[in-house]
Structure 1
């Protein structure tokens, strides 16, 4: 199965920041309207033609990105809960930004080194990869799938990416290329 992985468009967190919302509340932030045309242009990219289905993370920025792409393509669009962001706190509690960043850097360092962290309060790369693969395996009957999700979801599949992938950019790979 060929996968066109799209990182969601640029979110607009201004209102969230003004109201000092938690990270969970920020997940509902919409896309920044100044960048919508960039997302719409993706659907016109020849690589996106002949896609079979669009699947998306449930977060607003991913859903809105998927919907904009799909306006032109007119495919089935599925929302998959397990394509969500990396979980910074498995207990589901509130983390201040400093602690979330500390955990994120520790997580990324472990991903880069390939050394699993044995004791952690957040989702491991292996756990993120497993839940993502569980979703993708349900779509193996499709030839080409557009996945709209988050950078850390992509990185869990293809490995550490020092340069990342920008908002509204895509990365093409095959499910067969993913190491289990």
Structure 2
């Protein structure tokens, strides 16, 4: 599976993605608003990569590796998954993203997420997609707003007690905002 935008390639994972992804997951600033804010070890990142690939096999959608077309280097990821960490929103499909710090502020998350939403609605046949972010993660909330998502609720993640916002968009809303 491979998608392309004007500046980006969204693709399935490769073995050589582990080290650059481990560097992203090991950056305290990147991980500040993820889960309980802890960085991940290389082994935890490897397990997460295996989990992301299983999602594709089990559901036909999942998390894409994101790379700028001009360099081909791993910038991070964007994609669709089941947010099992927040049972109160289930059944649901969540869109999320994580980029290395040097890729922040360039519109990459918005561009990649817009394409992943398009994929979710047109290729995966989803009718509604949510996104979840820590209430203080203003950059992620701005991406969600740019995508046309609307806030549904604020709640707390049971496993670590962090406050989060849940936003959503339907296929019809996406089609109106982004032209189908």
Structure with larger RCO (C-alpha < 8 A, sep 6+) = 1
Higher helix share: 1
Normalised TM-score (structure 2): 0.33
Larger radius of gyration, structure 1 or 2? 1
Normalised TM-score (structure 1): 0.33
